[in-house]
Structure 1
Amino acid sequence: MQKKSTQSWLDNDTFAAWTFLTPALILLGLFVIWPIAYLCYLSFTAGSFTSTGTYWIGLKNYWRLILNPDFWQVLGNTVYFTVATLIPSLIIPIGLAVLLNRSIALRGFLRSAYFLPSITSLVAAGLGFRWLFQSTGPANGFLSLFGIPAISWLGDTFWAMPVLIVLSVWKQLGFNMVVFLAGLQAIPSSRYEAAELDGANGWQQFWYVTLPGLRPTVIFATITTAIFTLRSFEQVYVVTGGGPLNTTNLLVYYIYQEAFGQFDFGYAAAAATVLLAFTLILVYLQLQSWGEES
């Protein structure tokens, strides 16, 4: 006689699980999976939503991307901006977290002060930086105290991108500091006590105890910061508008220009699909590193 299954697929626990999961899965499908699928479809089409309608053109939009030098310039700008923002957005918060994890005066105030940029509107911050680095702004006023000629920060092809990088690092600094503070408090104090008994100085404790203990936290901060930089739009829109000479044009702003400036939605969708693929690959590699560590 065949033994009956002891657990039905629709037993009470399974039914309850699907009951609670269904609303979330519906929202995920409507606002994540369906838009991504439609974006991929749109990248193979051309035309307008309002007049002739869209029609299938295959891989022509991707071929246009490959042949368009502006796209490669924007892609290079995005890589440069992402790397140059990511490195200081990890190094500086680690140092601040180590410092503010100790019992020092005004520790609570300093933590709040450094976290404040994270809750500041990026548009407001961008307007502030635009005022700060204008030709007659405080930045050039400070340089004039040392006899340094005024710099056209936002009109110079060399200096415009560093202004956006400084703004993005400033915006991300507080969030990463809090993340690293949480990671530091998860490291057992016994590790530091053992290292101190072995004669390790402060730098050696940081290098051999703190950094290895923060490895999962560093991977998490790297993923979130990389996503933040790859989807950067407000900085470019408010501060530089992609100029001068397209040197600060990032991929998200380029997609915006093509979609809502040129109304070339199929081409913009192809560029957005490239950005999505690049982001997914980056996150996958980071998660693989996280999995190897765990």
Structure 2
Amino acid sequence: MNAPNSVSSANRDALAAWLFLAPALVLLGIFVLYPIGYLFYLSFTQGSFTRGGTYWVGLRNYYRLLLNPDFRQVLGNTAYFTLATVIPSIVLPLGLAVLLNRTVALRDLLRTAYFIPSVTSLVAVGLGFRWLFQNEGPVNGLLSAVGLEPIAWLGNTTWAMPVLILLSIWKQLGFNLVVFLAGLQTIPQNRYEAAELDGANGWQQFWHITLPGLRPTLVFAAVTTAIFTLRSFEQPYVMTGGGPLNTTNLLVFYVYQEAFAQFDFGYAAAAATLLLAIALVLVYIQLRISRETDS
């Protein structure tokens, strides 16, 4: 006799759930799913948003990407920039988190100081770094003071990209530090106490307890840092303009140039679709590893 009532109660709960989810789903569809779908459609077209409109060209834009040496250089720049940023952005915050997780003097002040770059405008930081590394800037002033030749940092094909990488590492340091500190709090303290009783030193505890315990946190930090780095736009826009000789041109900045300087929206959409695919692959890897860790 209670079965119809239980079914109707379940239906009411499901209806209530959908009603509460509806505003979020509508916003998600308007501001996320529709733009992604339109971007994908636009990558198969050519033309502009003028009276002539756009027309279907199929895979031509993707062929142009593969055959364009400038795009291949940009892709190489982005891969180098991402790898060179992600690895230090994991290693440095991890080491600092292990140190700050202990009882040290001014620990709370140091945590706050390290987190400040994460809440600072990237444009403002980029302008600051451009001032530091300009030809007559403080960095070259220090080099001259110790008897070294000044370097045209942002005009040099060798040194321009490392300056952008340095900025990105500094910007990401505080966020990853907080993530690792939170991850360290989840590792039971009794594991370290048992290891000390067994005679394990600090390095052995870090290698056999801390790193395995932080595996999900490491994956999350690596993926979020990689995505942050892949979508980097402000650094080349503010500091180098993609130069010198296209050596600091990154994928998002390249999409911006093709779309809003060359007005080649279909080609730019194809490049942006490729960037989206790379980000989705990274997210899939994170979910896969996290699922294996939980199981």
Q: TM-score, normalised by structure 2?
A: 0.97
Within 2, Cα distance between the matches of 1:75 and 1:247?
11
The verdict on how the C-alpha distance between 1:5 and 1:63 changes in structure 2, with shifts beyond 3 A counting, is farther
The verdict on how the C-alpha distance between 1:31 and 1:143 changes in structure 2, with shifts beyond 3 A counting, is same
Name the counterpart of 1:24: 24
Within 2, Cα distance between the matches of 1:95 and 1:213?
15
Within 2, Cα distance between the matches of 1:9 and 1:228?
45
Secondary structure of the corresponding residue to residue 195 of structure 2 = helix
Name the counterpart of 2:85: 85
Within 1, Cα distance between the matches of 2:74 and 2:5?
59
Instruction: Mark the runs of 5 or more structure 1 residues left unpaired by the alignment.
Output: none
Aligned residue runs from structure 1 range 118-137, under 5 A: 118-137=118-137
Amino acid at match of 2:145: L
Name the counterpart of 2:60: 60
Amino acid at match of 1:247: T
Instruction: Mark the runs of 5 or more structure 2 residues left unpaired by the alignment.
Output: none
Name the counterpart of 1:15: 15
Name the counterpart of 2:258: 258
Aligned residue runs from structure 1 range 1-294, under 5 A: 6-8=6-8, 11-294=11-294
Amino acid at match of 2:136: T
Deviation for aligned residue 1:10: 6.5
Give the share of equivalent positions with the same residue, in percent.
Answer: 72
Within 1, Cα distance between the matches of 2:164 and 2:59?
34
Amino acid at match of 1:13: D
Q: Larger % of helix: which? A: 2
Task: Please tell me the root mean square deviation across aligned C-alpha atoms, in Å.
Answer: 1.3
Deviation for aligned residue 1:48: 1.1
Deviation for aligned residue 1:116: 0.3
Within 2, Cα distance between the matches of 1:144 and 1:122?
29
Aligned residues: 292
Within 2, Cα distance between the matches of 1:94 and 1:19?
43
The verdict on how the C-alpha distance between 1:78 and 1:191 changes in structure 2, with shifts beyond 3 A counting, is same
Within 2, Cα distance between the matches of 1:168 and 1:18?
41
The verdict on how the C-alpha distance between 1:6 and 1:202 changes in structure 2, with shifts beyond 3 A counting, is same
